[in-house]
Amino acid sequence: MFLNSDVLEILSRSGEHLFLVAVATIIAIAIGIPLGIVITRYPKLATPILGIANALQTIPSLAIFGFLISVPLLGGIGQNPAIIALILYALLPIIRNTYIGITSVDSAIREAGTGMGMTDWQLLTQVEIPLASGVILAGIRVATAISVGVATIAAAIGGGGLGVFIFRGLATLDNRLILTGAIPAAAIALGLDLSLGWIENRLRQQPIRLDKFDRKYAIIGSVFALLTAIAIGSNYVRSPETIAIGSKNFTEQIILGELLAQQIENNTKLKVTRQLNLGGTFICHEAVKTGKIAGYVEYTGTALTAVLKQEPIKDPQVVLDNITKAYTSQFQLAVMQPLGFENTFAFIIRNADAKKLKIKTLSEAAKYTPQMRGGFGYEFLERKDGYPAVSKTYGLKFAKIQQMEFSLMYPAIKQNQVDLIAANSTDGLIPILDLVILADDKKYFPPYQAVPIFNKSILTKHPELKPVIDRLAGAISTTDIQQMNYQVDNKSIPVDRVVREWLKSKKI
């Protein structure tokens, strides 16, 4: 059952999605058609230009998004890098179809035009482009369809759009949310494809004549261009009293991001935009470091080993002191006081398997792992405190290791696709799916206290932020966060409502 707020958000996200697609496609057309024309006049350029465009199309979209995060000016998080990525993906079909459409024009027609005294420009605008317009529009049609699909991934870097629902649904195992994003995206793709297909058929029947282009179409085009420019311009204008809060891409992080946002909104005059579900540690770290977001919640052990590349330390206070000092000097970031709970890595198996094998610890599980399938996140497999070191400590050797997105690990172990996963000790799905945590009996993992990380320049600009965030210090117990995770993951209660009720109960 959808509430009014759900409908409003669907409409809002659909608008964001259309904005991304429209802006990217228009810019891709403005670049792609001229390039396609150029390579018809200079054939030697055709192979390198088409080769580059083809190579860009083969790069995985997440890789392009990830690369753009660290690119100055054009990169970072939000709509800008998302639009850049969509442009890169849309270029190939537009350039290729423009080139094919023009070069496919019958040479006899060109010769006739030349014989009539036409210049190259007249031949292009009055003969070649009109005859090739159907093929060119077919390329635009393909580019638009690609953009609609790829735009769903933009949510991973805070670009908005309907992918927000899909990522949120994956994080909370909520098929309703996944469909909420997928169905409107499919409808947009189908609607745009049908519309462009109708125009394409009309152009094939009656090619457009650029020399007799109706004035009313010029006026309509100018108005549309003006509206697009205004929309793009508004994307760069943000009220000075607005800040952004981010989070990583799993339930607990989305809850904590929403908690920071509501705490700020409830106790200051600032408006908060949510850049939740951004991705892994390094995306959030880069975003807060560059000021794309004001803050997010990190875990001390992660900051120590993954970001600072230091060896694990067991003492929680020493870890906190080390990252506080290093974050200030290296990144100009402020490490706030711990929120009150710790979320460590947890090796998790099905309860039935634990009972069958009579294992409770990682040491006991080690002798069975050669017959097990492990399911681990990409970040965990690369981190200094992750799989390489912990497997050496315990002698873990798996029959097969399946790399997967964090949000897919619980569905995988539930459906018997893997036998053991490395997730978070506070995940609400652990009791729901009848899973158990194997004890870290050798005490390998460092402490992972949850701490807000904020950009120091933003704190200086808005001094009211620090005392408001400090009021959350020590306020969230392990039971609190487990209960909130449970409410979102098992009861499908919206994150904002769960956070609102918790804040109300604590009177913070």
Q: What pLDDT, on the 0 to 100 scale, is given for residue 225?
A: 56
Q: What pLDDT, on the 0 to 100 scale, is given for residue 236?
A: 47
Q: What pLDDT, on the 0 to 100 scale, is given for residue 239?
A: 47
Q: Is 43 exposed, middle or buried (0-12, 13-18, 19+ CB in 10 A)?
A: exposed
Q: Would you tell me the crossing angle of helices 4-41 and 46-58 to the nearest 10 degrees?
A: 160
Distance CA 70, CA 331 (A): 14
Closest CA to 344 of 301, 282, 389: 301
Confidence of residue 1 (pLDDT cuts 50, 70, 90): very low
Distance CA 374, CA 402 (A): 6
Structural contact between residues 441 and 362, judged by C-beta atoms closer than 8 angstroms: yes
Helix (H) or strand (E) holding 423: strand 420-424
pLDDT tens-place string over residues 459-474: 999 999 999 999 999 9
pLDDT tens-place string over residues 282-335: 888 988 998 889 999 999 999 998 899 998 888 999 999 999 999 999 999 999
Question: Would you say how long the chain is, in residues?
Answer: 508
Mean pLDDT score of the chain: 86
Closest CA to 181 of 16, 26, 414: 16
Structure-token pair, residue 152:
């769903």
Q: What pLDDT, on the 0 to 100 scale, is given for residue 441?
A: 92
Q: Which residues contact 163 (CB under 8 A, 6 or more apart)?
A: 17, 151, 152, 153, 154, 155, 156, 181, 185
Report the DSSP beta bridge partners of residue 345. Answer: 424
Report the DSSP beta bridge partners of residue 424. Answer: 345
Structure-token pair, residue 482:
């487990």
Confidence of residue 226 (pLDDT cuts 50, 70, 90): low
- The one-letter amino acid code at 335 reads V
pTM for the structure as a whole: 0.66
Q: Which residues contact 392 (CB under 8 A, 6 or more apart)?
A: none
Distance CA 345, CA 385 (A): 10
pLDDT tens-place string over residues 148-190: 988 888 887 777 888 888 877 776 667 788 888 889 989 988 8
Per-residue DSSP letter, 446:
P
Distance CA 45, CA 38 (A): 8
Average pLDDT over every residue of 47-67: 82
What are the start-end ranges of the H helices in 151-214?
A: 163-172, 175-205
Structural contact between residues 442 and 363, judged by C-beta atoms closer than 8 angstroms: yes
Per-residue DSSP letter, 397:
-
Structural contact between residues 163 and 130, judged by C-beta atoms closer than 8 angstroms: no
pLDDT above 60 (res 210): no
Q: Is the pLDDT higher at 189 or at 452?
A: 452
Average pLDDT over every residue of 190-210: 74
Distance CA 373, CA 371 (A): 7
Average pLDDT over every residue of 64-85: 74
Q: Would you tell me the crossing angle of helices 61-69 and 281-289 to the nearest 10 degrees?
A: 30
Structural contact between residues 448 and 302, judged by C-beta atoms closer than 8 angstroms: yes
pLDDT above 70 (res 3): no
Q: What pLDDT, on the 0 to 100 scale, is given for residue 112?
A: 86
Distance CA 375, CA 292 (A): 32
Distance CA 158, CA 161 (A): 9
- What percentage of the chain reaches a pLDDT higher than 90? 47
Q: Where are the beta strands (DSSP E) in 249-365?
A: 271-275, 295-299, 333-335, 345-350
pLDDT tens-place string over residues 396-428: 999 999 998 877 899 999 999 999 999 888 888
Confidence of residue 221 (pLDDT cuts 50, 70, 90): low
Q: What pLDDT, on the 0 to 100 scale, is given for residue 99?
A: 94
Classify residue 507 as left (phi > 0), alpha (psi -120 to 50) or beta: left
Distance CA 107, CA 105 (A): 6
Structural contact between residues 131 and 207, judged by C-beta atoms closer than 8 angstroms: yes
Q: Is the pLDDT higher at 6 or at 68?
A: 68
Closest CA to 495 of 255, 137, 266, 228: 255
Q: What pLDDT, on the 0 to 100 scale, is given for residue 156?
A: 75
Angle ∠(133,109,143) on CA atoms, nearest 5: 20
